[in-house]
Amino acid sequence: MKKNYEEYVASMRKIADVNYAAGLLSWDKEVNMPPKGAAIRSQQVATLSGIAHEMFTDKKFVENLETLEKNKKKLKLPQRRNIELSFKSQQRSNKLSTEFVIRNSKIVSEGYHAWLKAREAKDYNLFKESFRKLVEIRKEECELVGYENHPYEALMDQFEPGAKVADLDILFADVKKQLIKFTKKIATYKQVDDSFLKKKYPQQKQWDFGLEILKRIGYDFEGGRQDISPHPFTTNFGSSDVRVTTRVDERNFGSMTWSCIHEGGHALYEQGLPISEYGLPTGNAVSLGIHESQSRLWENNVGRNLPFWEANIDLVKKYFATNLKGVGASKFFKAINKVSPSLIRVESDELYYHFHILIRYEIEKGLLEGTYTVDNLNEIWNAKYKEYLGVDVKNDAEGILQDIHWAYGSIGYFPTYSLGSFYAAQFYAQAKKDIRGLEKQIAAGDSSKLLAWLRENVHKHGGTYTSEQLCKRITGEGLNFKYFMSYARKKYKMVYDM
């Protein structure tokens, strides 16, 4: 099997080369490309994606993979896992005919354009019929791909392999039961003052400060860089070149700072993946949920916590002395953790955030089960926002049309955002147990032991384990919402002097 495996590795690496090249074309499109380059660029990306697909479905490659799958017991763990995961991807794509793939990409393309127009006009009705087709083809996909318990699992599996609706139902029941109660309790306390975060924070100073913060959390600029793009993202072309982007809003200090730390957390994960497994599943992240756990851990558990600002209050005041006159670490910490319901997911605080996800999860599941239809989905959306967040949606642009995911026909993705926060809380609780004096170190400006712990426990394994296996290896149990609640209770007790 040695030769077969080597052949498999060589092909996978070539496929990765092509996909990473397509990734660079896309990164460049967001960051550098002059406007006239757009049309040809899309064509170039499509050509590369097509070539990567052809390589992955090449007859010789597939036969070799099947041979390896049949003989996988002869392989050791990382090798065996690679074969299993590649074979699984292969099986999934085999179940989708070329006709289906072409039809899907046509529906997605139409859907995206309809969504753009509908959002512009703030009118869900302009998106409705396209969305109907998108939902129908997703349902079709569920049946083609197959599932054990619930069609939703067939879709989620692409983002969070092995995720079960039964588990998510328990998690989101906890969110509903415990978090709604908790946010209602918070609302009875005096609101914190975050007015100084809305002063003018000059572009260039924010940029310089962001780079400084990225360095402080351990992001390696020898193997990455930061640029400006309309929507912050992290991308990589192998773990030796992992790039982040951010945006600057001069009237909103948090917009850039937490995007830097959030994307920085994603990037630290990518920079820690084993380069020896380049192009192979075990060289990639486990899942979107685990990826998000890394960004959220740095953004929230570290970056929105008091110790981090005890360490960095002088730095931030060096950059923004006037705006932050008289603001100490504690006042700063409270301001950046203000809790209040908002209509827009990406502007939400750490707690209300999960109601945004809960609503999308309920709607997506309902669409697949047939309990909801697209017909009046904006009304259902608005009612849920009233019920869970107590806010009135004034128009569809700030309601059902706010996120791009459904416009691309992407269903089953949203839950990974909440999973990320919950995994983050559980991992961080374990890190505090494993690293003596962790928060004292962070308060002294040293998060290197935390990074080393993440490298050792999460990053270096790449995709060797499932999310569940990884969580059990690290914390001794599966994902448990109690860690998030306990983290939240402790934090907001301080923030609101509860």
CA atoms within 13 A on the CB side of 234: 26
DSSP string of 31-59, one letter each residue: HT--GGGHHHHHHHHHHHHHHHHHHHT-H
Taking the complex as a whole, the smallest distance from the CB of residue 26 to its own copies amounts, in Å, to 11
Choice from 110, 123, 140, 241 touching its own copies (CB under 8 A) = 241
395 binds its own copies (CB under 8 A): no
Choice from 6, 28, 379, 392 touching its own copies (CB under 8 A) = 28
User: Rounded to an integer, what distance in angstroms lies between the CA atom of residue 294 and that of residue 23?
Assistant: 21
Catalytic residue (one of 141, 160, 263, 350): 263
User: Rounded to an integer, what distance in angstroms lies between the CA atom of residue 217 and that of residue 235?
Assistant: 18
391 binds its own copies (CB under 8 A): no
Q: List the structure tokens of 234.
A: 């992290």
36 binds its own copies (CB under 8 A): yes
**Binding footprint of its own copies, residue count (CB under 8 A):** 37
9 binds its own copies (CB under 8 A): no
Choice from 1, 4, 30, 33 touching its own copies (CB under 8 A) = 33
Please say which residue, 224 or 420, places its beta carbon nearer to its own copies: 224
Q: Show the binding pattern over residues 43-72: x = contacts its own copies (CB under 8 A), - = does not.
A: xx--xx--x---------------------
Does the active-site annotation cover 54? no
Contact status, residue 340 vs residue 334, Cβ threshold 8 Å: no
**Options 38-46, 106-114, 396-404, 475-483: segment touching its own copies (CB under 8 A):** 38-46
What three-state secondary structure class fits 245?
strand
233 binds its own copies (CB under 8 A): no
User: Rounded to an integer, what distance in angstroms lies between the CA atom of residue 74 and that of residue 388?
Assistant: 52
Residue spans of alpha helices (H) in 164-224: 165-174, 180-186, 203-217
Q: What is the signed CA dihedral for 292, 297, 298, 301, rounded to 10 degrees?
A: 150
**Options 92-100, 144-152, 233-241, 354-362: segment touching its own copies (CB under 8 A):** 233-241
Contact status, residue 346 vs residue 358, Cβ threshold 8 Å: no
Please say which residue, 35 or 476, places its beta carbon nearer to its own copies: 35
**Options 20-28, 181-189, 446-454, 482-490: segment touching its own copies (CB under 8 A):** 20-28
Strands 226-228 and 242-246 turn out to be: parallel
Number of C-beta neighbours around residue 377 at 10 A: 23
User: Rounded to an integer, what distance in angstroms lies between the CA atom of residue 203 and that of residue 312?
Assistant: 19
**Options 27-35, 253-261, 311-319, 366-374: segment touching its own copies (CB under 8 A):** 27-35
Residue closest to 271 by CA, chosen among 451, 469, 79 = 451
Quote the Cα angle for 454-458-460, to 5°: 100
Contact status, residue 224 vs residue 242, Cβ threshold 8 Å: yes
Window 269-288: residues binding its own copies (CB under 8 A): 275, 278
Taking the complex as a whole, the smallest distance from the CB of residue 16 to its own copies amounts, in Å, to 8
148 binds its own copies (CB under 8 A): no
Taking the complex as a whole, the smallest distance from the CB of residue 240 to its own copies amounts, in Å, to 4
What three-state secondary structure class fits 234?
strand
**Options 35-43, 87-95, 133-141, 210-218: segment touching its own copies (CB under 8 A):** 35-43
22 binds its own copies (CB under 8 A): yes
Catalytic residue annotation: 263
Q: Which residues bind its own copies (CB under 8 A)?
A: 13-14, 17-18, 20-22, 24-25, 28, 32-37, 39-41, 43-44, 47-48, 51, 220-225, 237-238, 240-241, 243, 275, 278
